[in-house]
């Protein structure tokens, strides 16, 4: 998950590389954030999802859910095709596709689980190779935003500095002239001199910005293209390194560890997990440059009290959950308890307690089964928010 301003920066980068100006440049910037408009479509989905069947609800989620259809490659192709049909501008259509594709790619390489090949496949996946607060993918796209802001200030006349040996500055009525040294006309107080010195220092900084802006203008194509190359290289190196590292760890552990179920927990560090046996998961903290640093085990089922059929209730909760979308939980753990004829099963992800900073599997489900009638209710808490009751069509 990359911040929205950085996505805007990607649009500006592409617009400069492709030489787009005016409305087309602005259009590419808007296209770079269009996938995240699914925040609004998801709000619509939340309003109507409780009044439709289970099957319809799932299909609506694929279309309207956050990081679903608008984060698919098909959506990028569709938008690019519409641009081409309307404008017949190859550069603009190609840029539109690239703006959408790079948005999807950056989200895909961080932590967001998506369906990149929907509607041809509803399988979820994510590379999860880069920490969401990685400085490269968040800061580099901000540079063109900074440059555009500097250009805006320049065009509005926020800075102006005469070049040459002689500077002229008037502040509060005090004329100031300088060549190699400073000379003050009139008996300025020390305070006035300090004010003028600060203003002169500010003008020198603005002159530096002006020089940087001129350098960018002179090497515009190469300058912005290099940013794109760095981003593409960065989003390639880490996934490839992660695949090779996981393959090596899998051989050492004697099992197959799925790359898509690993999760970045800091810069250069990720959490891997696999089913160790019928009762335990094994979790491993891994650094790209030093391998496995720590490992620990998590119970799959924890039972409080004497509940002889606890495993049956855990299995039932698991089957109900498997029918729902989104499938945020990859390594389900169950906590089973009973009180007053009701069996409560709390379902969460084994990795949840070990990851901070916005994990995408921190949803907790609480299934409450009536032992006598067999009826059930389900409650969900997400991102630490208060529980909410879920409709039955969520599961069946």
How does pLDDT run along the chain (396 residues), one tens digit per residue? Answer: 567 778 888 888 888 888 888 899 899 989 999 999 998 999 999 999 989 999 999 999 999 998 999 999 999 999 999 999 999 999 999 999 999 998 998 888 887 788 999 999 998 888 888 888 888 888 887 777 776 676 666 666 554 444 444 444 444 444 444 444 444 444 455 555 565 555 545 545 545 555 555 555 555 657 777 877 888 888 888 889 899 999 999 999 999 998 888 899 888 899 999 999 999 999 999 999 889 999 999 999 999 999 999 999 999 999 999 999 988 899 999 999 999 999 999 999 999 998 887 788 889 999 999 999 999 999 999 877 889 999 989 999
* Whole-number Å distance between alpha carbons of 362 and 351: 8
Residue located via tokens 């694929």: 62
Angle, nearest 10°, between helix axes 220-253 and 142-155? Answer: 160
- Per DSSP, the residues of 89-148 read -HHHHHHHHHHHHHHHHHHHHTT--B-TTTTT----B----S-TT-HHHHHTTHHHHHHH
Whether the Cβ atoms of residue 111 and residue 360 lie closer than 8 Å to each other: yes
Closest by alpha carbon to 43, among 66, 62, 63?
A: 66
Closest by alpha carbon to 331, among 347, 350, 313?
A: 350
Whether the Cβ atoms of residue 279 and residue 297 lie closer than 8 Å to each other: no
CA distances from 250 to 84, 274, 275, 278 (A): 46, 10, 12, 18
* Whole-number Å distance between alpha carbons of 75 and 118: 9
CA dihedral 282, 287, 289, 294 (to 10 degrees): -50
Whether the Cβ atoms of residue 368 and residue 376 lie closer than 8 Å to each other: yes
CA angle 384, 390, 396 (to 5 degrees): 135
Helix (H, G, I), strand (E, B) or coil at 6: helix
Whether the Cβ atoms of residue 42 and residue 82 lie closer than 8 Å to each other: no
0.75 surpassed by pTM: yes
């Amino acid at each position: 998950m990359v911040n929205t301003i950085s996505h805007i920066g990607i649009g500006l980068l592409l617009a400069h590389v492709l030489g787009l100006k005016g409305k087309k440049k602005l259009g590419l910037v808007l296209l770079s954030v269009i996938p995240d408009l699914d925040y609004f479509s998801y709000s619509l989905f939340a309003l109507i999802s409780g009044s439709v069947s289970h099957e319809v609800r799932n299909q609506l989620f694929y279309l309207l859910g956050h990081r679903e259809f608008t984060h698919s490659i098909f959506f990028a192709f569709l938008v690019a095709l519409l641009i081409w049909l309307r404008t017949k501008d190859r550069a603009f259509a190609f840029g539109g596709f690239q703006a959408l594709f790079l948005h999807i790619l950056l989200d895909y390489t961080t932590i967001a689980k998506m369906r990149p090949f929907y509607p041809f496949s509803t399988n979820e996946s994510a590379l999860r190779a880069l920490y969401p607060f990685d400085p490269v993918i968040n800061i580099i796209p901000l540079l063109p935003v900074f440059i555009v802001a500097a250009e805006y200030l320049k065009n509005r006349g926020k800075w102006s500095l005469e070049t040459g040996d002689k500077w002229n500055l008037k502040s509060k009525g005090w004329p100031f002239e300088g060549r190699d040294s400073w000379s003050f006309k009139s008996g300025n107080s020390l305070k006035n001199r300090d004010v003028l010195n600060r203003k002169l220092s500010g003008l020198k900084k603005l002159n530096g910005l002006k020089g940087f802006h001129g350098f960018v203008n002179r090497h515009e194509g190469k300058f912005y293209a290099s940013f794109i190359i760095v981003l593409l290289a960065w989003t390639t190196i880490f996934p490839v390194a992660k695949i090779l590292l996981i393959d090596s760890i899998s051989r050492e552990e004697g099992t197959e560890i799925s790359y898509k179920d690993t999760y970045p927990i800091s810069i250069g560090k990720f959490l891997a997990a696999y089913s160790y046996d019928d009762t335990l998961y094994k979790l491993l903290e891994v650094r790209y440059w030093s391998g496995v640093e720590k490992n620990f085990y998590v119970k799959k089922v924890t039972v409080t009290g004497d509940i002889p059929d606890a495993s049956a209730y855990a299995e039932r909760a698991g089957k109900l959950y498997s029918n729902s979308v989104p499938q945020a939980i990859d390594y389900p753990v169950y906590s089973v308890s009973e009180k007053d004829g009701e069996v409560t099963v709390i379902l969460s992800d084994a990795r949840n307690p070990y990851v901070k900073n916005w994990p995408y599997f921190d949803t907790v489900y609480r299934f409450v089964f009536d032992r006598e009638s067999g009826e059930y209710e389900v409650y969900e808490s997400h991102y630490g928010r208060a529980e909410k009751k879920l409709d039955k069509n969520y599961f069946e």
